[in-house]
Every structure is written in C-alpha cells, then in structure tokens.
Amino acid sequence: MPAKIQPEHHNASSAGTMPGNRARNKLLREQQLLQLAQNILQQDGFAGLTMDRLTAASEVSKGTIYNHFCSKEDLITALSVDSLQRQLLLFHQVLALPGHSRERALALHYAYYRFSTAEPTLFLCLLSATTAAVVEKTSATRLAQRQALEQQLLSCCEQVINQAIADKALQLQAGRGIDQLTYLQWALAFGANALYGPSQQMGFFQGLEQQQLMLAGINLLLDGLDWTPLSGQFDYQQSWRRIAAALPQTQAAQ
Amino acid sequence: MPAKIQPEHHNASSAGTMPGNRARNKLLREQQLLQLAQNILQQDGFAGLTMDRLTAASEVSKGTIYNHFCSKEDLITALSVDSLQRQLLLFHQVLALPGHSRERALALHYAYYRFSTAEPTLFLCLLSATTAAVVEKTSATRLAQRQALEQQLLSCCEQVINQAIADKALQLQAGRGIDQLTYLQWALAFGANALYGPSQQMGFFQGLEQQQLMLAGINLLLDGLDWTPLSGQFDYQQSWRRIAAALPQTQAAQ
DNA sequence: ACCTGAACACCGTTCAAGT
DNA sequence: ACCTGAACACCGTTCAAGT
C-alpha cells in the first residue's frame, strides 16, 4: 500500500491540495524536469538543450517551466547542483571503504574521475555553471544551494587530510595549510579529468592511458608531501582496482 | 620607405588589386575582425559577442563576415588560434631566458599562468573552443591551424624535458614517457589556472594566494620526479620573481 | 568575384487571458 | 494562486540582387 501523506490541518482550507503537499509536488516536478533536461543533454548535447525542447518533452507549458527556473542559466545551475549531489553521494560511498588515509585520498580521486567519465555532459554543466555569464543569471537561492554542496565536498577532502595528520601519516610543513593541499589535489584532478575528459579537449593527449596517468600524478604529488605509505612501499595500483570494483557500476545510464 | 609588395605577373589582369594583394588584404581584414571581436569580449564578456555586434563594430556587412567565418563557432575557434599564437610567443620569450632545465620548466608554467590571468576571456575562448559543439561547426582548415599550434606548444615542453635528461638533471623511470610528464604538468597548470582563474570558478578557493600555490604544486610534482636541483637546494621563489620581471608587462591591454 | 542587407528560422522571455 | 500559449525581441544564417 503506497504511503499517502496527509496534509497538515493548521492551515485551514478546503480538501484536496494542501500547501505542504503542494510544495512537495513542485519539488517533485522540478526533479522530473531536471531528469528530462539530462535526457536531452545526453541525446543531443549541450546545443540541443533549449527551453522549447524541454517544454515539448514535459507535460507543462513554457510559463510553468519559467516558474521553476527563472532563466536558462538557472536551469543549468540547477543541473550542476544535481551533479554535485551525485558527486557527494559518490564521495560518501567511497569514504566508507576500508583503508588507510592515503588510500582514502586516492578513493576521492577515483570518485571524481569516475563521475567525470560516467557523466560527461554533467561534468560540462558543472564547468559552465561557474562561468560569469551563467552565475549572473541564476537565482540567489540556487547559488546558495551550490555553495553549500561545494562546502560539503570540500569537507570530505579536509576530513581525510585531518585523519592523515592524526595518524601521523602526514605532517604539514610550515606555511602549508589543509586548504592548500586540497586545492592542489583538486587542481590536478580537475585538470586531468577536463583535459582528457568530456569534450576530448586537447586532442594531442588521446593516446595515453588516463587512469594510469592519474594514478601516477597523484602518487607523485602525495609522495612529494611525504604522505605515508609512499608509493614505493605500497601497491596503489591494487588499491585503485579495489576501489573501482567496490563502486557500483550502475552509474552511467538510468 | 615602406616595403610595397608587388604582385606577381604570371596571372595576367589589369592594374590595381592583384590576387596576391587580395589574399593579403583578406588576411589583414580577418585580423582586424578578430581584434574587434576581442574588444567586444573584453567589454561585454562572452554573451555580448554576437555576429550582429561584430558586424556593427566593423565596416563590412554580415555576409562578408560569413565570408571569413563560416559560423559563430568558427569565429571562436579563430580567436582560440589567435590565443595559441600569443601563448607560443610567450613560451618562446620565456625559453630565451637563462637558467637550468628546471627553471625553464618553471618559466613555461609562469608563461601559461601569465596568459590565463592577463587574458581571461581568451583563456575562456580556448576552453570553449575545445567543446564538441564548437568543434563540429568550425572549418577543417581552422581546426588544422589549431592543431599545428598545439603541437608547437607541446614541442616547447618536450624540448625542456629532453634538455633536462641530456643534462642528467632528470632521469625517466621505466614506463614513464616524456608525453606523460608533459601531460601531468599541463593538467596541473590547466587545473590551477582554470580553478582560480578567468571566471572565479569554485569560489571556495578565493582566499589563497594563487602564485604561491602554483609554485608549491609545481615544486611538489618536480621534486617527486627527482628533477634536480630539488626545491630544498634551490630558491625557486626567486626564479619565479626573476621570470616575472623579465617578461614585458604590456600584455594585458592593447 | 565579391559585397550587401533584407528575409527567415529559431530561441529565450514575457504577460494578458484563462481556470 | 497557478497555468497557458500567443506574442515579442533577438540572434545566427542564407541568398537574391547589386556592383
């Protein structure tokens, strides 16, 4: 028997659609719209995503769509928020795996890599959502949502570094903060994924095996930080494979 | 006395505009159009760049503009080609400076950083020019131009690595190729510049001093490779400052 | 051979009219 | 209070007519 949620009574009105239910319905429809938008993105790429097509794919009118997203840019930011939520989910999954601190850092890199390859269009969305032109035309509440999620993702990273310091696997040199380490790793991961990734950017690197390269880059960086166990003393290739196998493969399609 | 290039005679025609002259004029006008496009970009950002506005800013008609650029995307790729040319110029300037191999690698990083901050809109152009949507709609000859320039930029990087190997400042481990090293450094540089750079992407890293961070990241990576002299044995901060001072500051405006 | 600009198709956004 | 879709403004692209 499906759980039918009854409206609260404190707001007197006739039977049928109550305010609580209504807000929930609106949110539900927004998620449906976002799903439709992602389908369009996957089928026809970024240029294929127009408000007209989204309207046609949905069961509501253009005006109603603008009731949810104040502009096309707002829609894109909404998609990026959705992406960050999935990314955060991946981060949590991957942090639940067993292993020492450096393996957990590696796991975060893997999760980021996995997302960028499994959802190339969404990765592009994330990128363009940070563009000034898009930011300027998105609602304040949506921007706040994104910022909150970004903060949560960062917390995951910092948590791992803090653990490493507590375990004495890593010592911070003078003048080097946790935010700096996070930034550097994020930059390497972002660059590697963007260069190889969604849009085949920079065609000249296509011959290389990306996963091996990413792992090599991460090892160089973390060895440079003296984050033990160093790559000479531990088989991180096996860690990478183990993490990859542990993550559910049902990420690509839906 | 200005050098007036005379047309060849093998193509009989009346006096005045000869084929050679004509081709040169066309190229000249194309460069003027690109300059106008960049002015618009700098003033009103990416969204402000429309074919209408470019037409209005120029002294030719819309049809003529489409004679130069087969689509708006072709124009964007043309701008990216222009950017790569400037970048290559910077690379050459910076490689002419004195110093050992690791300092030269650092100099390339500096040139890349300098370009991304001095010309944020062009850096964005470079990024979006790699997008599938843009690539699909640009002419084959323009794409070939870009690829050739990318190859030249890569050559600069590989040249430095080769020099380092010849100088015994760097030894390649088994299974590690020059292209891998180039890729990793490029990824870190690209990520760091994109994350901090043109569009203030990822607001959460804004508090950090980017130049210090980049230098730290490069040092970690190159120390990890055992590229001597290591950062503990050499003052790369000073190198960075020296390189910065040596490069002409007249890069931003025009 | 090259240039022109009116004309067309498409897309983001709005808003008066409906329920 | 919310939905609708016609209407508007804008922009990329084309092409018949001009020189």
Tokens of B164: 């380092």
CATH 1.10.357, applies to B1-68: no
pLDDT bin (cut points 50, 70, 90) of residue A128 is confident
User: How far is Cα A19 from Cα B116, in angstroms, rounded to an integer?
Assistant: 50
Domain B79-246, architecture per CATH:
Orthogonal Bundle (1.10)
Q: Would the Cβ of A180 be found within 7 angstroms of any atom in strand C? A: no
Tell me the shortest Cα–Cα distance from B9 to chain A, in angstroms: 42
Contacts of B194 in chain A (CB under 8 A): 190-191, 194
Contact A51, A62 (CB under 8 A): yes
Q: Is the CB of B50 under 7 A from strand D?
A: yes
A250, exposed or middle or buried, with CB in 10 Å at 0-12, 13-18, 19+? exposed
| Cβ-Cβ contacts under 8 Å, A179 against chain B | 205, 207-208
What pLDDT digit, counting tens, does each position of A135-171 carry?
A: 989 999 999 999 999 999 999 999 999 999 999 999 9
Rounded Cα–Cα distance for residues A149 and A155 (Å): 10
Q: Stretch A190-213: mean pLDDT, rounded?
A: 70
pLDDT, residue A108, reads 97
Q: Taking every pair of C-alpha atoms in chain B, what is the biggest distance, in angstroms? A: 71
pLDDT bracket for residue A45 (50, 70, 90): confident
| Chain A from 50 to 89: CB within 8 A of any B CB | none
Structure tokens at A208: 């290389």
% of chain A at pLDDT higher than 90: 60
Closest C-alpha to B60, from B90, B92, B89, B36: B36
Q: What share of chain B is helix, strand, coil (3-state, %, to 5)?
A: 65, 0, 35
Of A46, A147, A225, the CB nearest to B133: A46
User: Which residue, among A86, A90, A88, A70, has the nearest Cα to A30 in the 3D structure?
Assistant: A70
B79 is written with which tokens? Answer: 């701008």
Q: pLDDT digit of tens for each residue in chain B (254 aa)?
A: 343 333 333 333 333 445 677 788 899 999 999 999 999 999 988 889 999 999 999 999 999 999 999 999 999 999 999 999 999 999 999 999 999 999 999 999 999 999 998 888 898 888 888 888 899 899 999 999 999 999 999 999 999 999 999 999 999 887 778 988 998 899 999 999 887 765 555 555 655 578 888 999 899 899 989 999 999 999 999 999 999 999 877 544 44
From residue A39, alpha-carbon distances to A3, A45, B150, B230 in Å are: 29, 9, 34, 50
Give yes or no for CB of A188 within 7 Å of strand D. no
Which residue of chain A comes nearest to B129, CA vs CA? A201
Tell me which residue has tokens 């004495």: A168
Q: Where are the domains of chain A?
A: 1-68, 79-246
CB-nearest to B220 from A154, A205, A224 is A224
Tell me how long chain B is: 254
The angle that helices A140-166 and A178-196 make with each other, rounded to 10 degrees, is 110
d(CA A16, nearest CA chain B) in Å: 44
The band of A1, judged by pLDDT with boundaries at 50, 70 and 90, is very low
The stretch A111-130 carries a mean pLDDT of: 89
Cβ distance of B208 and A179 shorter than 8 Å = yes
Is any Cβ of chain A less than 8 angstroms from the Cβ of B173?
Answer: no
**Within 7 A of a protein CB, which nucleotides of strand C?**
2-7, 10-16
String of DSSP letters for B28-85 = HHHHHHHHHHHHHHHHHTTTT--HHHHHHHSSS-HHHHHHH-SSHHHHHHHHHHHHHH
Output the pTM of the full model.
Answer: 0.85
* A189-215: average pLDDT: 72
For residue B101, the model assigns a pLDDT of: 97
Token digits of residue A10:
């404190």
Number of Cβ pairs closer than 8 Å across A and B? 138
B137 touches strand D (CB under 7 A): yes
**Interface check B188 vs A, CB under 8 A:** yes
- Give dist(CA A50, CA A41) in Å, integer: 10
Looking at residue B252, its pLDDT comes to 45
Q: Does B220 touch chain A (CB under 8 A)?
A: yes
Residues A201, A194: Cα–Cα separation, whole Å? 7
Q: Return the residue matching tokens 């020019």.
A: B129
pLDDT(A56) > 50: yes
Q: Which position has the higher pLDDT, B44 or A208? A: B44
Q: Of A67 and B12, which is predicted with more confidence?
A: A67
Position A236 scores a pLDDT of 97
Helix B210-224 / helix B178-196 crossing angle, nearest 10 deg: 160
Cβ of B41 < 7 Å from strand D? no
Rounded CA-CA distance B104/B242 in Å is 12
> Which SS3 state, helix, strand or coil, does residue A135 take?
helix
Nucleotide nearest to B52 (CA to C1'): D11
- Characterize B109-144 residue by residue with b for buried, 16 or more Cβ atoms within 10 angstroms of its Cβ, and e for exposed: bbbbbbbbbbbbbbbbbbbbbbbbebbeebeeebbe
Q: Which pLDDT belongs to residue B204? A: 57
Cβ of B46 near strand D (distance < 7 A): no
Interface of B with A in 134-153 (CB under 8 A): 135, 147, 150-151
Q: With bands split at pLDDT 50, 70 and 90, how would you rate the model's confidence at A200?
A: low
Any idea of the CA torsion for B204, B215, B243, A202, to the nearest 10 degrees? Answer: -70
- Is the pLDDT assigned to residue A20 strictly greater than 80? no
Compute how many other C-beta atoms are within 10 angstroms of the C-beta atom of residue B72.
Answer: 16
Q: How far apart are CA B88 and CA B80, in angstroms?
A: 12
Q: Do B221 and A220 lie within an 8 Å CB cutoff?
A: yes
